[in-house]
Structure 1
Amino acid sequence: MDRTVDAAPGIRLWAEERGPADAPPLLLIMGAQASGLGWPEEFTDLLATRHRVIRYDHRDTGRSTWAYDERPYPLAALAEDAVAVLDAFGAERAHVVGMSMGGTLAQLLVADRPERLRSATLIGTGALSATPWLRPDGTAVPVEDLPGPDPRLLELWSRPEPDDIGPEAELDRRVEHWRLLNGDRIPFDAAYFRALERGIVEHTGHHRAGTAHARADTAGLVRTERLARTDVPTLVVSAPAEPVYPLPHAQHLAQVIRGARLVEIPDMGHALPRPVHAPLAAAILAHTARAAAAR
């Protein structure tokens, strides 16, 4: 079942839910410029075996309002959008799973709105903390010295935004991006990602590429102290082939969030190809069950 959510003046979000109506709610938060349909159907259905799963389009993606140029906003406003979605679905407290920028937003919820969370799972993201990473030998590595994205991604991101190149050429461009995000361990299934993006284009109603989230103000996102004392049960997913936040970002994230657990999904990169669906869903479901038992 889908619906629209009035998140802020002039901002309406598309959202949907699936799974048993009486199951614990689980909110999926996608990455920058990514529609909620970036969470693949098969993966979402695995989570919906035990949860009322809610996914939604960020503003300036999918069927939600595209209005950044008229009404610019800070990136932190997207975390409040997530709370508005929970409110619209009557979810007083929910498990939250965030990927990439969605992991940034999930950390903001852990820090600023812990009363709304049953648990958090963070995938493919960096820590909102100024605390150094401690190597196994005890030496400290400043956050600014942690490794950055794969140079191939940096080169792709540095290219000028294309004019309207037509829907098929736009799909080619998106598949090229997914090829790099997928990492080098799981064989890349171009047809799978092309079908995923074709579905997103059909859902959105156009093939224009969005840029709003890359332009949004990112000032004031660090939450070092609040993450260090949180009581929200948090799972950090470690992806060995992660090209955006390569190791040891996941280990650092697990260190700076109080009580966080770390789980590795073999061969995973910064994408959700079919081979990671089952192990990633199993890890998330084990985490949410553990959090429920602890309560």
Structure 2
Amino acid sequence: MEYILQTDNLSKVYGTKTVLNHVSIHVPKGSIYGLVGKNGAGKTTLMRIICGLTQQSSGNYTLLGKSNDITVRNNMGMLIEKPGIYEHMTAMENLRYFSLLFGIPFHDHQKILKTVGLQNAGKKKARQFSLGMKQRLGIAISLLGNPDFLILDEPINGLDPEGVYEMRKMLESLNQQYGTTIMIASHILSELYKLATDYAIIDGCCLIDEFSKETLENACSSSVQVSVEEKWMQKAKDLIASRYPDVRCEVFGSHSLRLHEKIDLADLNQFLVENGVRVCGLGANDENIEKFFVEKLSGGQAV
């Protein structure tokens, strides 16, 4: 697998306080990589190091296939903490100003504004923008130069539901249509789950776990629980094994079986009844994605 970013035991210490402790992550090219962690966990510090805004105390990282090469940041865009925009300027004037500042030719400005949904902002000054519009303008600035890698720190924080939805759709479009790799930090787990393809959990300045969305969904997959009279348990298990040979089925208590896959409940009920098994109860058991993350962040203990 090709990685757009790899870190090797990155650490950051301020005096006697460690704010990032030997973190090694791997961001696949073309992914939307979600950083999950409580406030103060070290997410922003990690992003600031990658963006060259602060220097690590120890450890190394490889960015866009290169180590210790600051020129690769010309192919990066970033929005750390809050948008650095000029509120007395319009959206277009901000883009033109930052293009001059970064030495980027004047082109695609209207396209960028359309990408972030600000094509109709017109002559409105940024001070008149809503929080969501300011966030979009910050992302528009980060898109100058068509970056391959975009780093965003809490871009949906404080947005209303409509703004969160529109931000998610915009980021999905950037990733899917233009192949932009995105690293995004957020504590809004429900939205991050809808968006990210890969995850890292950071807690107490350390990396707790790193995994793909597929791994997450397998860990939190829906299961089906079937309740039958005890005397029918073995027969029910044998029937299920014959009907669904690839589905893991385990005994759950004295009267129940659990199938670890999404199965049509009506089909399963009809099949068992037609074969002489009286079904006392049947239902889906959905493990909660948020619970999975909370347990990871609390050392594996449910809270």
Point out the structure with max Rg over C-alpha. 2
User: TM-score w.r.t. structure 1 length?
Assistant: 0.27
> Larger % of strand: which?
2
User: TM-score w.r.t. structure 2 length?
Assistant: 0.27
